[in-house]
Amino acid sequence: MARGPSTELPAFRPATGLPAEKQPVLMILHQEHSSPGRVGRLIAARGHALDIRRPRFGDPLPETLDGHDGVVIFGGPMSANDDEDWLQTEIDFIGLPLKENKPFLGLCLGAQLLVKHLGGRVAPHPQGRAEIGYFPIHPTFAGDELAARLGAPWPSFVYQWHREGLDDPPGTTVLATGNEFPVQAISAGEAAVGLQFHPEVTHAMVYRWTTRGAERLALPGAQEAALHHRGRFMYDAAVARWLDGFLGRWLEGGICGELSAATRLTETSVREPATDPAAVTG
């Protein structure tokens, strides 16, 4: 049965006294009990209500974003290539924030749906490997330029949970790359960003995913649960600092519209990553 759109905020209610002109941010989730996690908390802390909808379970999507200050599409266990009507609805819907120049953020599956909307490809690793756990990312020159404007450097290791990767169709700029799955962050248009990784995860979410999804830890390339928890203590502070700086600028709009033409021409050039002797390894 279809449900009405939700503005539930039990764990994310913003403080009072914040500017009334701020509008809700649309949160698109894919499981009955999934959470916007740290992304939701940081956006709510800036005075935005969270308009939580789950199209998979019948929630409608708006026909205009005049009443929203942005859109976030989160991850999920399904594939962007699944033949489901609700998935195609979400892929088509992404055209709305792109057309209206509203801030858009796609996380993991959300980033893959952005690429599908733009005519790109989402596919498994050629050797059947997965990225599940903490893995390094490397900013491109475009990513470094964005980080300089944010005042927050990219984290060196980020939390991953996926078996498929995305490419960079025409009209996108690669912001960060990875070792197993080359494209880790992209921008499109003025205000759309897709991240293959999961900066939204909380401590509780890591425990929940490694428990309920324990069978996936046996996939080639996946890390054992102990490395997930170890990696969180080692790397999450840097992820949190970056995410806070990113979301503050992202909510203002036009986050990627000012990347220089020179930077875009060298968008796939990546600095050699520094060796981290304490790095988590699978």
Confidence class of residue 271 from pLDDT cuts 50, 70 and 90? very low
Q: What mean pLDDT comes out for the span 106-127?
A: 97
Phi and psi based region of residue 5 (left: phi greater than 0; alpha: psi -120 to 50; beta: remaining): beta
pLDDT of the residue at 93: 98
Assigned domain for 122 exists? yes
Q: Is the pLDDT of residue 241 over 80?
A: yes
State the average pLDDT for the chain.
88
Amino acid type, 240 = A
User: Which residue out of 90, 131, 145, 200 is catalytically annotated?
Assistant: 200
Q: Is 215 a catalytic residue?
A: no
pLDDT at residue number 255: 85
| Cα first-last separation, the chain | 42
Instruction: Tell me, yes or no, if 108 is annotated catalytic.
Output: yes
Q: Could you give the count of Cα atoms lying within 13 Å of 184 in the half-sphere of its Cβ? A: 28
* pLDDT band per the 50, 70, 90 thresholds, residue 258: low
Residue 230 has pLDDT above 90, yes or no: yes
Active-site pick, 30, 48, 117, 198: 198
Residues in the chain, overall count: 282
Of 108, 131, 162, 164, the active-site residue reads 108
| Residue 266 confidence (pLDDT) above 60 | no
Total domains in the chain come to 1
pLDDT value at residue 282: 37
| Averaged pLDDT for residues 62-74 | 97
Tell whether 11 is covered by a domain: no
CA-closest candidate to residue 222, choices 113, 128, 110: 128
Look at 257 and 185; give whichever has higher pLDDT.
185
Q: Is the pLDDT of residue 225 over 90?
A: yes
Q: Does some domain include residue 233? A: yes
Q: Classify residue 106: in a domain, yes or no.
A: yes
How does residue 149 score in pLDDT terms, banded at 50, 70 and 90?
A: confident
- Judge whether 166 lies within some domain: yes
200: annotated active-site residue: yes
Is residue 21 very low, low, confident or very high in pLDDT (cuts 50, 70, 90)? confident
Considering the domain boundaries, does residue 107 fall inside one? yes
Average pLDDT over residues 239-243: 97
Closest among 168, 188, 167 to 97, alpha carbons compared: 188
In a domain, 15, yes or no: no
Q: How many Cα neighbours within 13 Å face the side chain of 156? A: 13
Indicate whether 163 belongs to any domain: yes
Residue 58's domain comprises 25-265
In terms of pLDDT, which residue wins out, 177 or 2? 177
Q: What is the CATH number of the domain that holds 201?
A: 3.40.50.880
pLDDT value of position 13: 39
